[in-house]
Amino acid sequence: MRIRSMPSFIVLASLIFSSLAVAQNNQAKPGPSKEAKAASGPAPRHDISGTWEPANGPGDGIQANGVKAMPNDGKPGHQPPYSPYGLQVYKSHHALEGADAVLPGFYDDPRDKCEPLGFPRMNFYNLRETQILQNPYKIVMLYQYATTWRVIWTDGRPLPKLVDGGVMVGNEVKEPRYYGYSVGKWTDDTTLVVDTIGMMGEDRVWLDTAGRPISDQLHVTETFHRVDQDHLDWSVTIDDPKMYTMPWVAMNKFPMRLENPHEDVMEQYCSPIEMEKYNKLFGDPSSAPTGKAPEK
């Protein structure tokens, strides 16, 4: 049942099919200047600290279609190497975005309830201005989305071992964590390799907005390469023997650029109260089903 036309005395004027000519708002965030791109100093040794943003644009890390290196766009070569169980879990996810996106109303991403995204999904959902602080013992990454953080130990401690129900740290079994347990090692003056284990399972978190799965058996390897003074390349490999038959690259040298250290980073948060109000006022009313949901 559809209303095809609003009463004419309510709607003013025209259905416009060509694009409006609108003056660009001159307060919009500008792109990097050619001068800024060209001039940069040498990379400092063992240092990835700073306020970083995606080098190709403030939204280049939004990743609405899924992980940067393997968006779920239906193109050949963009399907991760699912195990049979991994494919089954993927198909059980009703994602808002990607090649298998479902109709509105059938969507069940935990993000919609403002669940913690966890790691590594924090790298694949609205990756924006990222503040990295470091001291001799640890590196702390402050993500813009959800104003959340994670710790990478660089004090030489070993990566914990995965055990049933969690991880073994020394003689102690510790719980799985949304952001896992990370250790980092410098492999040369400008390259930091970070391993993370002990993350939450498939009943709590997704890998990305397209619904790719991860399990508590996941081992993530990141490489941070300080290219020069102003640039950082960020790579992520997913190794989850429960969900995938082999390791695969989810982010391949994603370029970040250094911002002014005095930059104020805005909050981007998920508020259950705001989400509820949005769904009540707009999300649910606009999502009246238009037909049967496609079979997965």
Partner 1 sequence: MIKRAIPILAMVTFLLSASIPLFAHHGTAAFESDKKITLKGTVTEWFWSNPHCLLRFDVKDDTGQVTHWIGETQNPVTMVNGGWSKASIKTGDEVTVTLNPVKNGLPLGRIVTVLLPSGKTLDANAGIRNNVYK
Phi-psi region of 74 (alpha: psi -120 to 50; beta: other; left: phi over 0): left
Options 23-31, 134-142, 157-165, 180-188: segment touching partner 1 (CB under 8 A)? 23-31
- Residue 231: which residues within 8 A CB-CB, separation 6 or more? 40, 55, 255, 256, 257, 258
161-163 and 148-153 strand pairing: unpaired
Q: Does 38 bind partner 1 (CB under 8 A)?
A: no
Per CB under 8 A, 290 contacts partner 1? yes
Collect all residues with Cβ–Cβ distance below 8 Å to 274 and sequence separation of at least 6.
none
Please give the helix or strand (H or E) that residue 167 lies within, else none.
strand 166-169
Which listed range, 2-10, 84-92, 157-165, 233-241, lies at the site for partner 1 (CB under 8 A)?
2-10
Residue type, 66: G
Please tell me the distance from the alpha carbon of residue 188 to that of residue 193, in angstroms, as a whole number.
Answer: 10
Stretch that binds partner 1, among 77-85, 164-172, 194-202, 282-290 (CB under 8 A): 282-290
Contact flag: residue 171 with partner 1 (CB under 8 A): no
- Residue 92 touching partner 1 (CB under 8 A): no
Stretch that binds partner 1, among 85-93, 95-103, 161-169, 197-205 (CB under 8 A): 95-103
Binding residues vs partner 1 (CB under 8 A): 1-4, 6-7, 9-17, 20, 22-29, 31-32, 56-60, 62, 64, 96-97, 101, 103-107, 112-113, 126, 128, 144, 266, 268-271, 274-275, 277-279, 281-288, 290
